[in-house]
Structure 1
């Protein structure tokens, strides 16, 4: 008697997988806010030689990444002749007025004051980050600073500057 044994190869094996995830990677943020809604000086009109004023603005850094530097500069628009006669002084402080942004007198500004620019002609303000005024470095979230920006129309402004204007947009830029 003959017997036949048929064998089939088996493919039995143990197996286990393990996963980790999903892993979500988010980028950080660089974010600045201020307490000014719209134009800072509310479009000053009818300035005469010797006229002056000041406003304060509170800047808050809200980014999740530390800002390696924050700089301030001006985006000056069309200048029809006033830029050589309108002068700005910029002060940086650690505290500001309690109730309003108006801060015409230095004592109401409070805190430590650092002068960033003194009597700079509007036509000569820095216009980009590289040349801007350094306002802070290694800034972390929720730090704030106050800026007092004062203007004066030079008493020596000539008659030829009558009816002229300049557009100035203040820019604060943070970089991580």
Structure 2
């Protein structure tokens, strides 16, 4: 009997060890994040460094923004200021900001606006109300198929009715900031 129990145990062990096996695999999985990136063609040179203005003076400058975003995104323009002067004349500087095609930092000659002005008002208003992505000028919608370009023409005029108190005045140091956020 002990030999019979041992023999039946070996048979059960062998039977439970004999199975069919099948498998499949899906290898090489990975995840890569998209990108949201912007550049401009200014080469780091400010668009405006105007000196010795008098009431009635005006000018404009263009800049081309290029997106390298690989995902759908939204771009808005806003400002940041530093070094606000004692005699701040930004309420006498009128701005018009247009979006379009063809303009570059080197020249606005080929600029063609798309739609109406994106912003019209004073520099003071722009720098106090367009201070973040949430309240910035725009949106410019990106498809996520780079490169995508949009030119901006920023025109200014020094109000012809600016009072004598604006003599020797200046504006804050203004940064124009284009920000893209994926949508």
Once the two structures are TM-superposed, the CA of residue 124 in structure 1 deviates from its matched residue by: 0.5
Q: Which has the larger radius of gyration?
A: 2
| 1:137 and 2:141 aligned | yes
Q: Which has the higher strand share?
A: 1
Corresponding residue to 1:94 among 97, 101, 109: 101
Q: Cα RMSD (Å) of the superposition? A: 2.6
Task: Give the aligned partner of residue 171 of structure 1.
Answer: 177
Change (3 A) 1:3 1:94: closer
Aligned counterpart for 2:157 among listed residues 135, 152, 155: 152
TM-score (norm 2): 0.76
Preserved contact between residue 93 and residue 147 of structure 1 (Cα < 8 Å): yes
User: TM-score by structure 1 length?
Assistant: 0.79
Between Structure 1 and Structure 2, how many residues are aligned?
A: 168
Gaps of 5+ in 2: none
Contact 2:99/2:113 (CA < 8 Å) preserved in 1? no
Q: 1:12 to 1:75 in 2, by over 3 A?
A: same
Higher helix share goes to which structure? 2
For structure 1, the residue ranges without an aligned partner over 5 or more in a row are: none
Residue 21 of structure 1, CA deviation: 2.5
Q: 1:64 to 1:42 in 2, by over 3 A?
A: same
Going from structure 1 to structure 2, the CA distance change for 1:93 and 1:37 (only over 3 Å counts) comes to same
Aligned partner of residue 43 in structure 2, secondary structure = coil
